[in-house]
Amino acid sequence: MSTNFKVTEAFVELGIPTFYLAENQETKQAFLRLLASLDLLNLLPVLRRINKRIVLRVISKPKVKRSNTLVNWILLLATVATTFYSGFLISPEGINPYLGGAAFVAAILAVLGTHEMGHWITARRKRMEATLPYFIPSFPPIGTFGAVIMQKSLAPNRDSLFDVGSRGPLVGFVVSVFVSLIGLTLSVPSLPPENAINIGVPFIWYGLERFLLFFTLLPAVPSGMVPLLHPIAFAGWLGLFVTMLNLLPAGMLDGGHVVRSTIGEKLRWILSGLSFVFLIYEELWVMAGLVLLLSFFRHPGPLDDVSELSTGRKVLAFVIIGIFFLCASPTVPIIS
């Protein structure tokens, strides 16, 4: 232990080897070296600041139960079916509903799949145990409640927690923008249908529409008419909406991981409350209930909760805040 840290006191507390560490020493890389060496012994180090002292404990590594990937495949196939049916139903006049359904499946799975694989690949790179994505089927007009992965081990440090929490929304945002661009070029002006659904336009869509108009890739909408969204455009909209929800700084959401790694647990409680108020204001009742439920659970944090987040990641946190607002919607409706 002394080869990695400067130890001021060592003892066994309730059968757990415990070490008090000296202040003003490098802990991030030393902890990672210790983590790698103890892994061979099936042990796990936990670094915390308790009563203004740096405390290192060594515990037995919990057993990780293997996942049944058959469940992942069944849920994926079910989601393909429900999203195809949804795409079939929302295909506007002039679009073959079977092609619309297939296009919606490809687009929405690309958005949700890249989001979750961003989490999964990053977790594996950080040597964290995580399941493959679980896609969740739902009813029309969306056909899915999204997808999740389950983390089975804690992040090594705040850098890793930040990376795992942020990678999903970042890659999902990029793919959602790409899908939105394709879908908007396929949307066509029309008189407002009687059964149309009004959805708010994310702020970034105003920029995307102007970009496409500049290159004459988007037909202008005559007065009295509205754009009928192609199923691919609706998938892009959903991707941006899901990105916004996931970036809420609450609970175990992606934004909650980012906040926990950036500013700690105390402010996370305040931001969770603000997220709940925001969702109530937006009348997103189910998501508000979920955020309220998650707020009652304390975030476990990383194994090393002492070492600081890197400067580059602190800067990236501001980029993530910007993405959240770009994906938010003002109260301007669009017909789909």
Which tens digit of pLDDT belongs to each residue from 50-84?
998 999 999 999 888 888 999 999 999 999 999 99
| Residue-level pLDDT at 138 | 94
Q: Tell me the percentage of the chain whose pLDDT exceeds 70.
A: 95
* DSSP string over 305-325: -SSPPPHHHHHHHHHHHHHHH
Q: What value does the CA radius of gyration of the chain take, rounded to a whole number of Å?
A: 23
Would you state the structure tokens that stand for residue 223, as one six-digit string?
Answer: 């007065």
| Residue-level pLDDT at 196 | 65
Query: Is the pLDDT confidence value at 4 over 90?
Result: no
Instruction: Tell me the pLDDT of the chain averaged across its residues.
Output: 90
Query: In which band, very low, low, confident or very high, does the pLDDT at 334 lie, cut at 50, 70 and 90?
Result: very low
| Residue-level pLDDT at 119 | 96
How far is 299 from 297, CA to CA, in rounded Å?
6
Query: Is the pLDDT confidence value at 25 over 70?
Result: yes
How far is 109 from 123, CA to CA, in rounded Å?
20
Would you state the structure tokens that stand for residue 143, as one six-digit string?
Answer: 């056909």
In one-letter notation, the amino acid at residue 12 is V
Q: Tell me the percentage of the chain whose pLDDT exceeds 90.
A: 65
How far is 48 from 68, CA to CA, in rounded Å?
34
Query: Is the pLDDT confidence value at 324 over 60?
Result: yes
More confident residue, 329 or 318: 318
| pLDDT tens-place string over residues 187-197 | 877 777 766 66
More confident residue, 236 or 141: 236
| pLDDT tens-place string over residues 241-281 | 999 999 999 888 999 999 999 987 777 778 888 999 988 88
| Residue-level pLDDT at 266 | 75
